[in-house]
Amino acid sequence: MANEIHLTVGGSQRKTWPAGTPVGEVLAALEGETSQRPVAARVNGRLVDLSFPLQEDAILEPVYPGSPEGREIFRHSTSHIMAQAVKALYPGTKITIGPAIEDGFYYDFDAPVSFTPEHLQAIEKMMQEIINADLKVRRRELSREEAKELFRRQGEDYKVEMLEEISDGTVSIYEQGDFVDLCRGPHVPSTKRIAAFKLTGIAGAYWRGDERNKMLQRIYGTSFESRQLLEEHLRRIEEARKRDHRKLGPELDLYSIQEEAGPGLVFWHPKGARLRVTLEDFWRQIHYRSGYDMVFTPHLARVNLWECSGHWEFYRENMFSPMDLDGQKFVVKPMNCPFHILMYKQKLRSYRDLPIRWAELGTVYRYEKSGVLHGLMRVRGFTQDDAHIFCRPDHLEEEILRILDLNVRVLKAFGFSEYAIYLSTRPEKSVGSDEDWEKATSALRAALEKKGLPFEVDSGEGVFYGPKIDIKIRDALRRTWQCSTIQVDFNLPQRFDLSYVASDGSYQRPIMIHRALLGSLERFLGVLIEHYGGAFPVWLAPVQAVVLSITDAHVPYGEGVLASLRESGLRAGGDFRNEKIGYKIREAQQNKVPYMLVIGNREVESGMVAVRERAQGDLGPMSVAQLIERIKKEAEPQS
C-alpha cells in the first residue's frame, strides 16, 4: 500500500495526502474555501462517511446537507436519533426500519405503549438531549452471523429477520452511545450535527407493508440544517393541511366517499360534477383540435384478454377477482389499452391510415389495499385521460414531439408551468427484445432533447412492456405530483399480432404509444383542489357567480339576473334565502365563488348589480351585460 495518495477534491487540482487519512480530515482542511460543512462524501462515486480512511488515489466530492443526497443522510441520521430516544424512554420497544423519505423520515416501532402527541413531546425532548450530548456516530462491520447474535441478544427480532434475508457475508452497523442499528449508511459524524428537527405525526403500518403481519406504530418527522429552513417547512405543512383536498372537497360539497358503497369509490356531488365536466369538455375539445378521435369501451372483459395482454401475469395483484358469467371468467378492466387494440384489429389497416390517435376518458378499476387509499389521490375506481396512438416507425419521434407539445399546453391551462421530467428505462421484470427496448428508449430521449426539456434517467422504472417519460408537475406549495406519462410499446402489438399494409404491400407491425396527460381525473382534481386551495380560476370554478338578494322584495329582479347569467352560458347560482346579506356574502366567500352579485333597492332601480370579487372585494356597480362580458373573458382557459 502506498504511503501517499493523490486526491482530486471538488474538481480542484490534485493534492497529496498520507494514506489512511479520513475523508473528514481532508475536507476539514478545505473548510476555509466554503461556508458549508459536509455530512458525507463521495469517493470515486461511492457514498462514504467522513470517517472513511482513504487508501488509494481518488476523486473526492463533499456531500452537503442541502443537497438531495445530503438531506437523505441528514434525515436518516435523525431517524436513528429518534429510535434511540424511543428505546431509552420505552424499554421493551423493538425497532424495525427508519428510512429517509421526501421531506422527512419515519421509523416503525413495535412498542409496549400506544403513542400519542404527548409521547412525541417526550421523544423530542430526549432527542434534543442526545443531540446535545454530541455522541460520535461510528460504523462497524461484522459478519452476518455476528450481527445476528448481537441483535438476538438485544431482543431485536425484526433486525434478526432482516439479517436472515441478507446474502452478504459482511454487514455494517452504526453505533451512537448505547444505541446500535443495522444500516448501510452513511451517517452524520456526530449527533450534534442535527441542527433542527420536528416530529410531525403518528400512523399505523404493517410490518413489511403486509396486512397479514403485525401492525406497528410509525412516527414521522423531519429535520433541516437550520432552524429557519425547518420553520419554513413547517409553515408549508400547515398550509398543506389547510389545502388538503380531503378537508376542502367535502367542505365545498364537491365529492364524498360513502362507506356504505365501499372504500376508494368516489361520489361526485353537483358542484364537483360541474368541475369535472368543465375539465372533461376542455380535454375533449383540445384533443379534437389535436387530431384525436374519441372512443368508448366496456368496463369488463374475459380474463383471456388480459392473459394475452400480459396484465394477468404482470399486474394480477392489482386486478379485482374474476366473476363468473355464463360459465366464463370476466374481470373489470384495470387498463383501457387492450380494448383499443381490439378495435384496431377490427379491420385491415393501411400505412395511409396511420397514425391513428384514439382518446378515451375510460373508467378503470384496480385493487388497492385499504391501507394505501387516500382521498382522491389513491382510489379503486377512477377515470384515466387515456389515449393510444398506432403509428409507423417513421412516425414515432414526431408523435412523441406532438404529445409533449400537447402536454405543455394542457398543463399550462390548469396553472402548471414547472415540472420534473424522468426517462424511465427497462425494469428487471419485463418483456420484449433488447433491440426494441433500445429503439423505444432512444426515440423518447431524442424527443426530449429536441424540445430542450431537461430530464433525469430513472433506471429500471419503465413499465413491463416498454420505456416511458414521466412528467411530475410542481404545485403552488412546490410539491411534485406524478400525472403525465408517455409510453412506447413494441410488445402489445406483437402479443395481439397487429399489422398494417405497407406501401410495398407487405404486412408490418405498428408501434403503439400509451399516453396520459392528466393521469387519473380523480387524482388530478385532488391536486387541483390543493393547488388552488379550492379557489379555482373562473374558467374552472363550479359556480362562477352567485346572485345575493338583500330582502325578499329583491328576489324577482335577482331571479331575472340569474336567468340572464345562465342563458349566456355562465355557471351561476342564487341565494334568495331570508338571511342577512353579510351572512350570505360570508358563505359565498367560504365557498370560494369568484363573483358575488348583491341585489338591493339601488340595483333594482338602476338595472345594475353590485359586484364583489372573491379576492379584490367590492368592484362597484355594473350592468349585467358588462359583468357577463368580464366573466366570459376570464373564463377562457390559458392554453
Evaluate the CA torsion angle 224, 229, 230, 232 in order and state its sign.
Answer: negative
First to last CA, the chain: 65
Question: Is 183 within any annotated ligand binding site?
Answer: no
The residue among 537, 536, 554 whose CA lies nearest residue 633 is 537
* CA–CA–CA angle 279, 280, 283 (5° rounding): 90
24 to each of 31, 184, 192, 269, 572, how far by Cα in Å? Answer: 10, 18, 16, 60, 66
| Cα torsion through 415, 421, 426, 431, rounded to 10 | 20
List the catalytic residue out of 274, 366, 380, 592.
366
C-alpha 288/C-alpha 267 separation (Å) is: 28
**Which regions of 3-130 does DSSP assign to beta strands (E)?**
4-9, 14-18, 21-22, 40-43, 46-48, 53-54, 58-63, 94-95, 100-101, 104-110
Catalytic residue check, 384: yes
C-alpha 100/C-alpha 39 separation (Å) is: 15
List the catalytic residue out of 468, 523, 531, 571.
468
> Can you tell me whether residue 184 is helix, strand or coil?
coil
Q: At what angle do helices 270-289 and 521-532 cross, to 10 degrees?
A: 110
C-alpha 625/C-alpha 563 separation (Å) is: 12
Catalytic residue check, 388: yes
Would you state the cell numbers that stand for residue 625, as one nine-digit string? 351585460
Question: Is 308 within any annotated ligand binding site?
Answer: no
Catalytic residue check, 514: yes
> Can you tell me whether residue 564 is helix, strand or coil?
helix
* Chain-centroid distance, C-alpha 624: 43
List the catalytic residue out of 384, 531, 544, 571.
384
C-alpha 238/C-alpha 536 separation (Å) is: 20
Catalytic residue check, 293: no
Catalytic residue check, 515: no
Please provide the DSSP assignment of 487-546 as one string.
EEESHHHHHTT--EE-TTS-EEPPEEEEEEEEEEHHHHHHHHHHHHTT---TTT-S-SEE
Question: Is 340 within any annotated ligand binding site?
Answer: no
C-alpha 389/C-alpha 380 separation (Å) is: 26
C-alpha 99/C-alpha 78 separation (Å) is: 10
Residue 220 pairs in a beta bridge with 106, 201
Query: SS3 breakdown of the chain: % helix, strand, coil, rounded to 5?
Result: 40, 30, 35
Catalytic residue check, 386: yes
Question: Which residues carry out catalysis?
Answer: 337, 366, 384, 386, 388, 468, 514
Binding-site residues for Zn(2+): 337, 388, 514
Binding-site residues: 337, 388, 514
